[in-house]
Chains A and B, each alone.
Chain A
Amino acid sequence: MFAVSAAAVLVCMVLAMLRAVLGPTAYDRVLALNNIGTKTVVLIAVLGFVNGRPDFLDLALAYALINFIGTIAVLKYIEYGDLGASAPRETGTE
């Protein structure tokens, strides 16, 4: 039954990849990329159960965090063109 779930996740990754390839703006691609990352986390978790040894969950845990950091980093690079740039302070709570 886990194989079915893994297949579903793979289909979803293909769809998201389609959006990443098509996606007119860079933001579409980043969104699709972030989504593929989420699905990878789920896929790692499910594959652990498919193989009967769910020891890879620590990898999923780490991947969830890396994926998040990666998305933020890419967005920052698109927005400021420099990863070391500090965001301009805006008035009010942001």
Chain B
Amino acid sequence: MCCFLKTIIRLIIYILLIWNGAVYAQKTIDEADNKSIVASVTDWVATTGMLDTFQLQGFANQAFISTSDNDVFGNSDKGGSFGFTEVGLNASMRPLPRLQLSAQGLYRRAGKGSSANPRLDFAFADYRLYSHETNQFGMRVGRLKNPFGFYNETRDVAFTRPSILLPQSIYFDRTRNLGLSSDAIHLYADSSQSNLGSFSVIFGIGNPIVDDRDTEAAIVGLGRTGNLTSNVSYIGRGIYETNDGRIRLAVSGSSTKVDYKPGGIDDLLGSGSVRFSPILFSAQYNTERWSLTSEYALRFFTIKDFNPSEFSNRDFVGESFYFQGEYRFNQKWEALLRYDVLFADRSDRKGKRLARSTGLPAHTQFAKDLTVGLRWNVTPKIMIRAEYHRINGTGWLSRLDNPDILDTSKNWNLFAAQLSYRF
């Protein structure tokens, strides 16, 4: 199914390119019968303004993280760590009025869960099938960021985040790849009405990327020899915004099934599957100085077909939410206050049932994070940030960075500072 989808995506890109190329070539040739082919091609490049539309952007973020206990992105509880680095390079162009090509490469170093190798974050073609006044309809094919909530698509760009660490209850860094980008096809529609506001809807079908070790550890535990493979997954989001952008409301949903194939006869886990279907409600209120944001998620899990003596096959629902206030003193200084809550299983919010049945600490099943932060826009290109988290629970802590669960602390705090540059 994965290969099938990739073939379809390639085919669609070729058809779009050839079709457009033909239309433009025909136009140019009609207009200039006596010109040579070379002149026609030059004309084509010139008339479409292809090179004028090329844009290159980038960013680099370096953070320092220090924790009282537990490790976040490196050995953070032994005096702090500089283990969190993000560097991105982004290019786009519009070879045709209706076609945009975009790609972004990303280098991310963040504890043992992130491979610290440059990777292709996204690369796709966006074609406008219909455009009239303020109504647009189009299609995107390639490797795409998953449209989920307010922050997922740009989560590695510090300038677009409200804080150094996004609210972990919803934007997990532990299983980030599962939610990050997919080889997919998206259909989108935008419409803005002068009396009502604007609506935008995206629906996508594709294959998420799950072959990193952190996602594996979070889903099937540490030290497994087998592999995870993803099936076709679905994603959708609708956003409503008033015309002045004061109020933004969104609903996002996705459904992904991941299969586990055992590594060999010695892999006691056997094969099995995990279906993960989150739904997320988002709301934001903006004034000149304030932005108030809240998101609420229910995460539905179905785990089945695993060897029951090794792994518990069950259905459960995780729950997450946060409330966040950002205050802009002026163009240079902003403050943040946020309360972020995660329950791994909403029918076992305190983790007592899990503690009784497995002997694992109850605090692995929740996390309540109170965050205060300060942002200083030194120049339009340079930003410095600092934040302090008071955390109760280890629900979103990375298992790779903290392999001994029994050695983790329930109450802990985290201080982070970050320097960011963009161009």
> Are A and B co-members of a single complex?
no
Chain A residues within CB distance 8 Å of chain B:
none
List the interface of chain B (C-beta within 8 A of A): none
